[in-house]
Chains A and B, each alone.
Chain A
């Protein structure tokens, strides 16, 4: 029996000891979900890549701190900020009132126009075209909206009093629009266009934007020092040779290729 107790003590102390590793203070731990190209994605060899990754690295340079990209499921980013695991989220996160209760936001540095991916048959039935307006969409009764849990794609239709089915990831949401189980998915432009590309015969894009959703960096509430630094950093974006120019040089063609209509300015203008 004593042996069992001893064993138990050893196991418990091993767990506690293993958990007492200190986080290196000088490393800036940046959270994002690496499944949303071109902003947050990975190379084929699993190295983080994308516009948000570039922003994060530039912010690290600005602060003189080393940056570690912590790949975190989008819905887990806010809990991870609160628990102290992440210092900051640079994750294309829309600034919303509900989220402001949980985390502190910087000033906006991008604007994500939320547009619609629509099932083709549904669009034909309701005479919707690529250039229909959101009023046209909202006027239709009996629409099955689908959104992604914890993202604005779920909360925006809800704010218009529409019922929204919540999917857990982008893949299943796009798939259900293509298959017709849902009619409309609201998302930022890149996922919508990518979803359309993958289902050319079953879906279409409506470009009129529901909202222009401001994107901010987020920290734990009370981390004013880091938020102030972030705001100072964001203030430099518009300067000549600032980050917008650097990003545009690198990403304009990628975004233009993808969206077919716009470059990076689609995201930097309100």
Chain B
């Protein structure tokens, strides 16, 4: 009970701070002026989730490819992984988005900026996903492989009964964290005029000029997506803990 009260007070503290900030700026705080843009904003929330899911899926696949590269016997593939990782780690996502959409895309003759923006998110998340795989697979020790050999498991049985149940437990939490990172990063697609959450609010603001309300609204809406996700992560972590 004590714990619950502490959380309530903690949330109230932050809420009080936000309220203080708001009422320093505007006396008649109301989201009413965004009401006509409800459809646009709802659409943009779905777009944000959609682009995040696509990027999650894409980076899962590409991350796995790079994980295979990193454990490959060919030194070239190891080096390629290292160089790629180093470059991506050193690149701000915004720079990657702009370069992909306005430099790389046109070079391949594609002017579909949204696709290139999705691509930038995927490429950006790939090294992080590669690391997720790396830590997950390294949790299966040599002895287990020896034991699997000993009992004559088929590859299907190995993955179904030994590897995947262990790996998924380690995989899930960082995966959900990365998903949350993608959702937050997707706000940068607004520079491509892609109608995601940040962009749609700015469009509405360009007409309503209710900036304080708009920024608070987009903040709250992002939290409404990310907080349930991080709570779900915590729940899964607890449930699947060894």
Contacts and interface: CB of A to CB of B under 8 A. Distances in A.
Nearest to B210: A198
B214 interface: yes
A74 B208 CA distance: 20
Given A19-B110, A23-B111, A33 B193 contact: yes
Given A1-B73, A85-B113, 12 more contacts: A1-B72, A4-B65, A4-B68, A15-B108, A44-B36, A44-B39, A46-B203, A175-B211, A195-B209, A197-B209, A198-B210, A199-B209
Given A76-B191, A84-B111, A194-B209, A45 B203 contact: no
Interface residues of B, number: 39
B110 A34 contact: no
A172 B203 CA distance: 13
Interface in A1-57: 1, 4, 7-8, 11, 15-16, 18-21, 23, 33-37, 41-42, 44-46
B111 A85 contact: yes
21 contacts: A1-B74, A11-B65, A16-B108, A19-B110, A20-B108, A20-B109, A21-B112, A23-B111, A44-B36, A44-B37, A44-B39, A46-B40, A73-B193, A83-B106, A85-B113, A171-B205, A171-B206, A195-B209, A197-B209, A198-B209, A199-B209
A71 B193 contact: yes
Interface string B58-74: 00001001001100111
Contacts of B214: 171
Given A19-B110, A71-B193, A171-B214, A42 B209 contact: no
A130 interface: no
Interface of B: 25, 36-37, 39-40, 43, 62, 65, 68-69, 72-74, 77, 102, 105-106, 108-113, 115, 191-193, 195, 202-203, 205-212, 214
Interface string A156-172: 00000000000001111
B20 to A, nearest CB: 15
B197 to A, nearest CB: 13
Contacts of A64: none
B40 A72 contact: no
Nearest to A42: B203
A36 B73 CA distance: 56
Nearest to B36: A44
Contacts of A21: 110, 112
